[in-house]
Structures are given as C-alpha cells and as structure tokens.
A and B are shown apart, each in its own frame.
Chain A
C-alpha cells in the first residue's frame, strides 16, 4: 500500500495536478464563502470541464473544490453569521460570537486548522481502510447491499430534521422522481407519459442545481430589501485575539480527533452528509466538555468540533462510493459520474484495475489539505473581499452559471427545462417545509436499492431465508434497529423536557 501511495505522490507532484488542486481550492473557498451557494454548485459546473483532462487532474480538482467549499462555508458563518454552507450552521453560532467580541482572527484560524486536521485524519482513514474494505466488500453481494441501503434510508428518515413525516415525504418524492424513465431491469417505460425525452429519466446535474441552487437565487430576490452585510475581519488590539496559539490548538486537539472520528464514521454511512456530522460532533463535544456553558457564546472548542467533523465527511464519503459503488451523498454522486466518465468504474475491483490512478488520487487528497491550509491562511483578506461582493453582482452570475452548468453536462436543451421545473419544485419544497437535501438522497439511492433488490430476489428465488443467512445482513439490521430506537428516545426526551420544566 505504501509503495502504491509513494508512486501516487510521484504522479500527483506534477504541474497539471498541482495547478488543478490550486484552482480547485480557490474556487471552492469562494463558492463556499458566498452565502446561498455552495461548493456543490461549483462541482456541478466544473464537472463537464474535467472530461477533457486526465482523470487524476480532474478528480483531485473536483475533490479540492468539495473540501475547500465545505471549509469556505465557515468564513461567512464566522464574519456575518450567515453560513455559506449548511454544514457551517453551528460554526456561525460560536464563530460570530467571537467576531462580535473582536476575535474574528482567532475564530477564522481555529476553523481553518480544525477543518484541515479533520480532513487529514479522514483522508488517512480513507487510504488505510478503503483497500481492505474493498476486499471484504467483494463478498457483500446484492443481498447485503439491500440491507445496507435499507439502513441508509432508515438513517435518513430518523435524522432528516425536526419532522419525521416531512423527512419521509421528501425522501419518497425523491424516490418517485428517480423511477421516471426506462427501468434498467425490465426495460419498461415508467411515468414517461409517452415522451421519449423522459425515457432517460431526469438528468442528475440539472436537477441538483434546480433543487439546491436556484431556489436560493429566488430567495435573494425576495429579500433584496434586506441591507447588505459587508464582511470584515475585526481586529483586536491584543494580538492574542487575532490568532490561535499552539497551546490553544493543543487544548482542543482531543476534541478535533474525536469529532473527526465522528465525521469520518457519519461520512462513511450513505445518506447523511456533513451537516449531520457537524451537529452530532458538536453535541457530543458539548456533552463531554469541561466548559459546556461557553458553547454557543464563542467557544473555540465548539468551532473545532463542528468544523473538523464536517470536513472529515469529505474524505470518508468516498468510502462507500469506491468500495461498494454506492454514492453516499450528492457530491459523491457527482464524483461517481466523473469517475465513470474517465472509465474508472467505482467498486471493489477499482483497487485491482486502476491501482495507480486511485493512489495518485489519494495522494492528491492529502496534498489538497496542505494547499487548503496555505492558500486559505495567506488569502483570508482576498476571499473575504470576493465573498462580500454585492449580491446583485453575485447572483446574476450564479444564474448564468447554473444554466450553463445544466446545459454543458449533457449538451441537451431539455436539461434546461429540467432545471426550470426543479427550480420551481425546489422552491415549493422550501415553502412547504420539505427537505431538499433528503429529496436528493432519495433520488440518488433509489436506483441502487431497486437494482440490488431485484438481483437479490433473483438470487434467493423462493428461499427467502437466504436474505438472513449473511452476517452482514444482521449487522445492518441491528444498526437500523439501533438508529430507530435512539431517535425515538431522543424525540421523547425533547418533547418531555419542556413539560417537566412547566411542572
């Protein structure tokens, strides 16, 4: 493995890949830092461009955008209390409190250091476990994958937000839209209403932009009277408030490691993503903290927990995609498309067939973390300037990019119609309180569930007990049961606490 990684480093340390990483990091931070749009939008737009370069350059660049985008979300969260990405919601609480206290420099520093630490740790886990897992995952056939996917749906259902029914409804809508088009199993046309164009189903990239990005543009138009917040790095006369000392970093290091662990685990489970990781890690850090009262009022530890967890997801979300060819979230689904375009089929065999490419990409992930640290640290001012451009400069550009991105992916005019239709749908979902992110996950995972369920049924025939013959099946059944139980308990606690107080 280590010689593979070494040869990977030698492949990545060339002009092309390094330029790709630098460009990716800069684009990612900017897109992440602008409130309302996120790194995923940048990935969707850049994706078609990467078809023309070497897979090592293309894929590391996309991943650099992803990682930098998740980090970039924390900049606007800290400075103007508006998370650039949903995953930075908690960073906004503590980070902005520090900014108000004149310690913006400290908040930005700890967010960057913990983001990079979280990413590094998760990437190391990815490199260490991916190949061994892929050896085991070859043994995980359709039956085991069905239970894994059922587990993923359970987790999405239980953790999707405040309202379980709304979460489930969003997920089911996603599943419904995923079924449009020709069934890959029977060849039957479903929900096409006689339109040949619908036989291909809905194209993922335009739909994603429509659901996630364009409704934000509409929101900005609606809120155009709200005064503009200029981002500023507040400066404190005391130099200690403008930076993070090694001692402070060391004091939160245990939190960073624990939160990265949580983030890595959550990222490796299909369907959750960085926001959930940030919430769980923050809650856990607060529960075990020596100073829980500081949380929410400018706790350095709190920022460290949230940021290391949400960035750890970036590396580990590659695990299910690479080893089982099941993308765990929207970014992984986009990246899987990029792998396929380059003739690299994600799945257990990718480590046999494309060893060099995969380890070069892994090496690229590690180098990206270093570049992210260097570029972000030296360019705070620049990124803050770009991200605080007036909204009437940014959002017309976003709209143009959204339409171009939707078109270039497939060079198909119908994709523009898909974009418009799903913009309306995405906006309506926000109005009715449905969860767009869950909708997307439902859309992504459904074809995998259907295909694997069909394969599993063909394999077991009438011997249904075979469904429960594998130990993997039981692991996922047990995990699903645990998640349902713990979420029910959490909800019971949440509803009973206020009443107790009333008594």
Chain B
C-alpha cells in the first residue's frame, strides 16, 4: 500500500516537472502547422512545401503543410487570422490573399491581422502571346491594343492578375478585354489555341510553352536566367512591382521569439543549394526578405491595390 502511494507521489512529481518544463520550453516544442489557402499542387503550395521541408530540420519539429483551399484564399487565411497566436499556426501569404483580396472582397481579416515573418520567393508577371501572334514585342502589342480591342487572359475580375494587368495597361495607355479562366495555366491553353490574343501569366504557367516555342513572352517584371531575351517593364518605362510572391505570416501578436527563430531558420536554408535548386525547378525566383523595409514595400503595394479597388467600386 505504502509502495503504491510512493509510486503515485513520484508519478505526480514527474508530471509536475514535465508540465513546468513545458511552460519554460523554447519554441518550437511541438509540430508547426502552415496553412496553404489554396489547393495542393499549385505554386503557393509547392513553394510552401519546399520551405517547410527545409526549415523542419533546422527547427527540429515537424512542419506540416495543410491545404485549406477555397474562396480565393479567404477560407484558409481567415482561419489562421482567428487562430491562437502562439506560433504553431502559420499562413502561406502572397499577393492575392494579403494585398489584393482584402481590398476587393469582404474578408474577415486584413493585412494588419498578421505579423509578416519572411518572404521566400517571387514570380515575375509577364505578358504572353502565342507563337504565331502578329506582335513580336511589347511596343507592337501596345500599338495593336490601342488600335483594336484585344483580349487578354487572366483569372477573375478582382484577381491579382487583372489588377496588375490594369495598372500596366493604364501606364502604357491601352485597354484590353479580359477573359477570365480558372487560373494562369488555363488561360495559356486559350492563348495557344488562338482563342485569345494575349494573357498575363507567371513562369510556372507559361515557362514550358515558351521553352517549347508555342508561346512568346513579350515583357516581364524582372530578368530571369531562363528567359534571357525578355525585356522588363522598366525597359518600357512602366513603374511598379508586378510580381506574385510567397511568404510566411503569423497571426498578429505572435511572440517575438517565434519571429526570430523562424527568420533565423529560413535564413539558413535559403543558402542551401538544394533548396535553391528546388525553387528553380518550379520556376520561382528566390527573393528572401524580412524586416521593416520589406513590410513598408508591401504597404505601398497594398495602397496601390486600395486605390485600384476604390476606382473599380466607383
């Protein structure tokens, strides 16, 4: 009898120790969930999975990618906005769910509901035409678009693609008729089939077609090694940043320790050639950023989107 009591006491003691150890333990002490607010297999998903696989080894706990797709990213993003800000639930952030959708749709969250942690990659937007299109460069395309009403593939009236395409068109002084497909990949099919005159697209979608000489990129946001002959928007005097990007945010008010740890781990893996190669394979440009300058850059884009949204609502 006495022995049992002793054992129980010892057990209770051990439990107490382990509990207090839990409270004092350093982040992270259990698996971290990263929510991707889009379907599996897409750009955002792949980018996040590469990051998760890499930082997992640095952090010493599993980093689990969970897809909560739907509503143009709103479902997954609002889920994280309402999650506990303990650093164990993170969100894959991008142009769409952080900067565009909160301005153009009614969302239960805003840019300020989150704490930006890191940006991993950028994908430059490009204007693409079919191989047999009469437009061989962007000047010809602009002239053509001024003369005739050309069609341009995008993915939804208030999607990041259309918003950016509109800003480009405004500056170059033309206008196009948008044809909305399910995504950048789907509108490439229409371009190649000759049903629409052009499309805005990202390298993962247009890359294979340009390489196989079925399509031509006229202009893109920045130089890429894979497409050395494509000029940039800046070359044509168009100002602004036209890129999709992928990063990781946490709910607002997450402990400082979490941010530091995640930044440090990301910084380490972003020099790993294996990680860099994985990003190159999916057509993304590594653009590792963090800190106040990055956040204020995002704020600038956010305000541009806000203006664009106000214009549309008028």
Q: Is the CB of A182 within 8 A of B67?
A: no
Q: Is the CB of B41 within 8 A of A342?
A: yes
Task: List B contacts of A410 (CB < 8 A).
Answer: 67-69
Q: Is the CB of A348 within 8 A of B193?
A: yes
Q: Is the CB of B192 within 8 A of A349?
A: yes
Task: List B contacts of A203 (CB < 8 A).
Answer: 70
Q: Is the CB of A142 within 8 A of B151?
A: no
Cβ proximity bits A180-199 to B, threshold 8 Å, 1 near / 0 not: 01111111010000001101
Whether A455 sits at the interface, judged by CB under 8 Å, is yes
Give the distance to chain B from A315, nearest Cβ to Cβ, in Å: 24
Q: Is the CB of A348 within 8 A of B70?
A: no
Whether B212 sits at the interface, judged by CB under 8 Å, is yes
Whether A139 sits at the interface, judged by CB under 8 Å, is yes
Whether B157 sits at the interface, judged by CB under 8 Å, is yes
Give the distance to chain B from A53, nearest Cβ to Cβ, in Å: 14
Task: List A contacts of B178 (CB < 8 A).
Answer: 458
**Chain B, Cβ-Cβ closest to A198:** B71
Considering the chains assembled together, what is the distance between the CA atoms of A459 and B67 in angstroms?
Answer: 34
Give the distance to chain B from A295, nearest Cβ to Cβ, in Å: 46
Interface size in chain B (residues, C-beta < 8 A): 45
Give the distance to chain A from B248, nearest Cβ to Cβ, in Å: 19
**Chain B, Cβ-Cβ closest to A411:** B66
Cβ proximity bits B143-163 to A, threshold 8 Å, 1 near / 0 not: 000000101000111110000
Whether A412 sits at the interface, judged by CB under 8 Å, is yes
Q: Is the CB of A451 within 8 A of B181?
A: yes
Whether A352 sits at the interface, judged by CB under 8 Å, is yes
Considering the chains assembled together, what is the distance between the CA atoms of A183 and B71 in angstroms?
Answer: 8
Considering the chains assembled together, what is the distance between the CA atoms of A493 and B75 in angstroms?
Answer: 53
Task: List B contacts of A142 (CB < 8 A).
Answer: 179, 190, 195
Q: Is the CB of A187 within 8 A of B104?
A: yes
Select A458's contact among B159, B179, B189, beta carbons within 8 Å. B179
Whether B120 sits at the interface, judged by CB under 8 Å, is no
Give the distance to chain B from A59, nearest Cβ to Cβ, in Å: 13
Task: List B contacts of A197 (CB < 8 A).
Answer: 75
Whether A248 sits at the interface, judged by CB under 8 Å, is no
Task: List A contacts of B159 (CB < 8 A).
Answer: 187
Considering the chains assembled together, what is the distance between the CA atoms of A120 and B189 in angstroms?
Answer: 31
**Chain B, Cβ-Cβ closest to A203:** B70
Q: Is the CB of B182 within 8 A of A184?
A: yes
Give the distance to chain A from B194, nearest Cβ to Cβ, in Å: 8
Cβ proximity bits A134-169 to B, threshold 8 Å, 1 near / 0 not: 000011111100000000000000000000000000
Task: List B contacts of A348 (CB < 8 A).
Answer: 189, 193
Considering the chains assembled together, what is the distance between the CA atoms of A51 and B40 in angstroms?
Answer: 9
Task: List A contacts of B158 (CB < 8 A).
Answer: 186-187
Task: List A contacts of B156 (CB < 8 A).
Answer: 183-187
Q: Is the CB of B151 within 8 A of A459?
A: yes
Task: List B contacts of A200 (CB < 8 A).
Answer: 69-71, 74-75
Q: Which chain B residues numbered 162 to 191 have a C-beta less than 8 Å away from chain A? A: 177-182, 185-186, 188-190
Top 5 nearest A-B pairs (CB, nearest first) are A200-B70, A199-B71, A141-B195, A187-B158, A138-B193
Query: Would you list 14 pairs from A and B whose C-beta atoms are within 8 A, ordered by A residue?
Result: A182-B74, A183-B156, A184-B72, A184-B182, A185-B156, A196-B78, A199-B71, A345-B186, A348-B193, A410-B67, A410-B69, A455-B195, A458-B179, A459-B179
Residues of chain B at the chain A interface (Cβ within 8 Å): 39-41, 66-72, 74-75, 78, 104-108, 149, 151, 155-159, 177-182, 185-186, 188-190, 192-196, 208-209, 212, 214
